[in-house]
Amino acid sequence: MDDQCRKCRSCPPGANIDDLITAGVDVIIARAFDSGAIGRRFKAAKDAGIPFVTFDRGSTSGKPTAHVGGDSYDQARSTGLAFRRNPEEGWREGK
């Protein structure tokens, strides 16, 4: 993604991905900020013959070509549940 896309705060969600599809890039690698909306972009990329890889956060609305990493929400939830199970241990200082 070029610097102009990164600086664009007024673009509607997904507009940068649409621009990449229109430009005919070789592959799109993106983090799903809106896991429900990004699925439309998977189909558009697939129709254009462009592989779409998500990382860190998955999609609830479609399947990308590939996904790398875990879901941050799930990681935070499992950490919270682990702390809740062991409240008597409290916080520990790292070594």
Confidence at residue 67, expressed as pLDDT on a 0 to 100 scale: 87
78, part of any domain: yes
Q: What is the CATH number of the domain that holds 18?
A: 3.40.50.2300
pLDDT averaged per 10 residues, the chain (length 95): 49 80 94 84 94 86 86 81 67 57
CA distance 68 to 27: 14
Is-contact 53 66, C-beta < 8 A? yes
Confidence at residue 94, expressed as pLDDT on a 0 to 100 scale: 53
Confidence at residue 8, expressed as pLDDT on a 0 to 100 scale: 52
DSSP per-residue codes, 6-26 = HH-SSSPTTHHHHHHHHHT-S
Give the distance, in angstroms, between the CA of residue 58 and the centroid of all CA atoms in the same chain.
6
Confidence at residue 31, expressed as pLDDT on a 0 to 100 scale: 86
94, part of any domain: no
44, part of any domain: yes
Domain that holds residue 45: 3-89
77, part of any domain: yes
Confidence at residue 18, expressed as pLDDT on a 0 to 100 scale: 92
